[in-house]
């Protein structure tokens, strides 16, 4: 092997994004003091960790499970328990390659050490550890965040809601929750219904308090409570420009630094809540889980008190809003199928559904908003490919009307028939960005049912407008899981031909998955269709 300085630099930069993305992905796991909403899932998770549940209280089980889960982060020797949800073939491959993660924090710290000046200068070795770090995210930190959120706040079930800026209400106090920590947004939603605060809003002349979501924390309360979603990443400024938002409450990730500067042109208050994320010009009300409801009421009260400062002449709420069906957790999908994955497997074997595509990821200021998201998804369902989605792509699809059962009319005849029979959309909302772990669990279950590895399945991933560091970590763990993944914006690796070739060609020979880069959503769709049809032929279906 030859020394490739450009390759080493490219992968060090890529590894930096992976580790930064994972750090943010797992940071939201910490917290306690919340009511347990899904006891069945609590006991199921306890069983995975070998924790006794018989004859014990919910609190006792939860305490032992919390200790076991916290240990996943700090321990130095693996395995991470949830990685064993992957098919045995996949786990053995990770072990053979030396990329089976040992602990969440350990892999991040080692990644930081390897990318330090003068340490790891072998681009292949760096990529392998980048994959190991990302696996500890997707099958570790993110999966833990998803499962714990379900236990605390409830496992999502299908319901109807509304999407786009038209969900803002002219005669109510409008509060937007924006960021990625459901511990905050759950309490804001609860506090907004507090009779004391509703009465205060009416005293100021408002008809009530309207909470709307933005980005991933919006997806969290959307899928669990049907709270309307005002938009995805590139709409956070537009929400303020409506002149109708009393407060935009932010925690971490995807918050534009200039929001307070824009808000200063209107009456809107930007309220920051995290000690890790402060914004000059914002009102800072620090959120602590042990006083969650008390602080949430203070935050909502601040928004309500701001209602009299609204300038009527500046209010311009767009009419656009779209109904959507959301809340398709793994449990909800299985329930919709009658309690087993067999109907889905039969639909795939019979060709009514050609395959499954996970279309996820961000908005990117360098790309026309939602254009690639929506057109890629439309092309896929037209070709009888069921789409599962999270994050900003999910919101884009909701706004485009693709998350309604009626959208099956835009699908191919096979997928259309399945959707109409089950009463579901051809595009299934599975949650926020951490909930891509739900997609991993679904793929693993299908692979086990068929007796194959994930890399053998007619499935693919896509991030048409990715932008955030965590998207790099997500893409890496999806590929490391054996899934072909199409990126719609170019990653910063083209300075090295060797690294580019490894990620887009050689990786498939190593982990069974690889990246492709295609900025045209129609061409990207064809890449996915071709891949899925090739996998079907290999399976003989």
Q: How far apart are CA 467 and CA 474, in angstroms?
A: 12
Q: CB neighbours (10 Å) of residue 500?
A: 18
Give me the number of domains the chain comprises: 3
Residue 325 falls within a domain, yes or no? no
Report if pTM > 0.85: yes
Instruction: Examine the domain organization and report whether 377 and 496 are in the same domain.
Output: yes
pLDDT interval class at 35 (50, 70, 90):
confident
Instruction: Examine the domain organization and report whether 283 and 249 are in the same domain.
Output: yes
Q: CA torsion sign, 103 to 508 to 386 to 411?
A: positive
Instruction: Examine the domain organization and report whether 303 and 400 are in the same domain.
Output: no
By the 10 Å C-beta count (0-12 exposed, 13-18 middle, 19+ buried), 247 is classed as buried
pLDDT at residue number 31: 43
Residue 184 falls within a domain, yes or no? yes
171-205: buried (b, 16+ CB within 10 Å) or exposed (e) per residue?
Answer: ebbbbbbbbbbbbbbbbbbbbbebeebbebbeeee
pLDDT interval class at 20 (50, 70, 90):
very low
pLDDT interval class at 26 (50, 70, 90):
very low
Instruction: Examine the domain organization and report whether 289 and 237 are in the same domain.
Output: yes
Could you tell me if 183 and 66 are in contact, meaning their C-beta atoms sit under 8 angstroms apart? no
Closest CA to 242 of 188, 172, 161, 186: 172
With pLDDT > 70 as the criterion, what percentage of the chain qualifies?
A: 94
Q: How far apart are CA 160 and CA 127, in angstroms?
A: 42
pLDDT at residue number 33: 41
Q: How do residues 134-153 score in pLDDT, each as one tens digit?
A: 999 999 999 999 999 999 99
Could you tell me if 357 and 386 are in contact, meaning their C-beta atoms sit under 8 angstroms apart? yes
Sheet bearing 209-214, strands edge to edge: 283-284, 269-272, 247-250, 173-178, 209-214, 229-231, 159-163, 322-326
First-residue to last-residue Cα distance in the chain: 40
Q: CB neighbours (10 Å) of residue 504?
A: 16
Helix extents (H) in 98-141: 104-114, 123-136
Q: CB neighbours (10 Å) of residue 109?
A: 13
Instruction: Examine the domain organization and report whether 290 and 398 are in the same domain.
Output: no
Q: How far apart are CA 285 and CA 269, in angstroms?
A: 12
Strand boundaries in 166-308, DSSP class E: 173-178, 209-214, 229-231, 247-250, 269-272, 283-284
Instruction: Examine the domain organization and report whether 251 and 387 are in the same domain.
Output: no
Helix axes 436-450 and 342-350, enclosed angle (nearest 10) = 70
pLDDT interval class at 25 (50, 70, 90):
very low
Q: How do residues 212-261 score in pLDDT, each as one tens digit?
A: 999 999 999 999 999 999 999 999 999 999 999 999 999 999 999 999 99
Mean pLDDT of 436-449: 98
Q: How far apart are CA 105 and CA 26, in angstroms?
A: 9
pLDDT interval class at 24 (50, 70, 90):
very low
pLDDT at residue number 18: 53
Structural domain containing residue 466: 330-539
* Cβ within 8 Å of residue 95, ≥6 positions away: none
Mean pLDDT of 327-344: 96
Residue that finishes a domain, picked among 153, 180, 210: 153
Residue 324's DSSP bridge partners are 161
Mean pLDDT of 85-112: 98
Residue that finishes a domain, picked among 153, 181, 209: 153
Cα torsion through 262, 266, 269, 272, rounded to 10: 0
Closest CA to 228 of 320, 155, 149, 361: 320
Instruction: Examine the domain organization and report whether 390 and 512 are in the same domain.
Output: yes
Instruction: Examine the domain organization and report whether 279 and 412 are in the same domain.
Output: no
Q: Which two tokens stand for residue 30?
A: 């910490």
- With 90 as the cut, is the pLDDT of residue 3 above it? no
Residue 347 sits in a domain of what CATH number?
Answer: 3.40.50.2030
Mean pLDDT of 258-266: 98
Closest CA to 68 of 136, 148, 135, 132: 148
- With 60 as the cut, is the pLDDT of residue 22 above it? no
Residue that finishes a domain, picked among 104, 126, 153: 153
Residue 323 falls within a domain, yes or no? no
Which of helix, strand or coil describes residue 446?
A: helix
Residue 158 falls within a domain, yes or no? no
Residue 122 sits in a domain of what CATH number?
Answer: 1.20.1270.30
Instruction: Examine the domain organization and report whether 263 and 351 are in the same domain.
Output: no
Instruction: Examine the domain organization and report whether 365 and 493 are in the same domain.
Output: yes
């Amino acid at each position: 092997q030859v020394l490739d300085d450009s390759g080493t630099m490219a992968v060090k930069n890529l590894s930096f994004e992976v580790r930064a993305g994972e750090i943010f992905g797992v940071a939201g796991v910490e917290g306690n003091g919340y009511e347990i909403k899904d006891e069945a899932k609590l006991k199921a998770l306890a069983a995975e960790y070998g924790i006794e549940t018989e004859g014990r209280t919910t609190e006792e089980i939860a305490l032992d499970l919390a200790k076991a889960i916290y240990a996943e982060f700090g321990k130095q020797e693996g395995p991470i328990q949830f990685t064993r949800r992957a098919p045995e073939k996949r786990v053995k491959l990770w072990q053979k390659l030396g990329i089976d993660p040992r602990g969440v924090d350990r892999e991040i710290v080692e990644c930081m050490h390897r990318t330090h000046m003068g340490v790891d200068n072998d681009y292949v070795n760096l990529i392998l550890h980048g994959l190991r770090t990302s696996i500890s995210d997707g099958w570790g930190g993110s999966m833990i965040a998803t499962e714990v959120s379900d236990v605390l706040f409830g496992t999502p079930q299908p319901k109807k809601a509304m999407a786009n800026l038209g969900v803002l209400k002219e005669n109510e106090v409008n509060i937007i929750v924006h960021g990625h920590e459901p511990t905050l947004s759950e309490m804001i939603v609860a506090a907004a219904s507090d009779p004391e605060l509703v009465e205060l809003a009416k005293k100021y002349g408002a008809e009530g308090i309207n909470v709307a979501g933005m980005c991933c924390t919006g997806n969290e309360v959307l899928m669990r409570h049907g709270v309307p979603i005002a938009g995805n990443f590139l709409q956070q400024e537009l929400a303020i420009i409506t002149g109708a938002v009393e407060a935009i409450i932010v925690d971490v990730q995807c918050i534009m630094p200039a929001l307070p500067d824009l808000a200063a042109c209107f009456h809107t208050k930007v309220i920051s809540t995290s000690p890790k994320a402060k914004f000059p010009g914002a009102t800072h009300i620090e959120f602590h889980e042990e006083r969650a409801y008390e602080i949430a009421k203070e935050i909502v009260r601040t928004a309500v008190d701001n209602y009299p400062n609204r300038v009527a002449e500046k209010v311009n709420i767009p009419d656009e809003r779209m109904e959507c069906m959301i809340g398709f957790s793994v449990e909800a999908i299985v329930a919709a199928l009658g309690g087993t994955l067999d109907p889905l497997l039969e639909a795939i074997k019979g060709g009514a559904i050609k395959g499954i595509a996970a279309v996820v990821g961000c908005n990117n200021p360098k790309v026309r908003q939602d254009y690639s998201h929506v057109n890629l998804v439309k092309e896929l369902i037209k070709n009888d490919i069921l789409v599962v989605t999270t994050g900003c792509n999910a919101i884009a699809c909701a706004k485009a009307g693709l998350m309604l059962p009626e959208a099956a009319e835009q699908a191919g005849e096979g997928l259309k028939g399945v959707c109409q029979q089950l009463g579901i959309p051809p595009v299934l909302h599975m949650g926020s960005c951490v909930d891509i772990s739900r997609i991993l669990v679904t793929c693993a279950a299908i692979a086990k049912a068929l007796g194959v590895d994930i890399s053998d399945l007619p499935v693919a991933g896509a991030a048409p407008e990715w932008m955030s560091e965590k998207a790099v970590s997500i893409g890496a763990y999806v590929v490391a899981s054996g899934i072909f993944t199409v990126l719609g914006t170019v990653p910063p690796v083209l300075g090295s031909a060797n690294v580019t070739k490894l990620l887009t060609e050689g990786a498939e020979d190593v982990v069974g998955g690889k990246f492709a880069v295609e900025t045209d959503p129609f061409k990207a769709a064809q890449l996915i269709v071709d891949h899925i049809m090739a996998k079907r032929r290999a399976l003989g279906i």
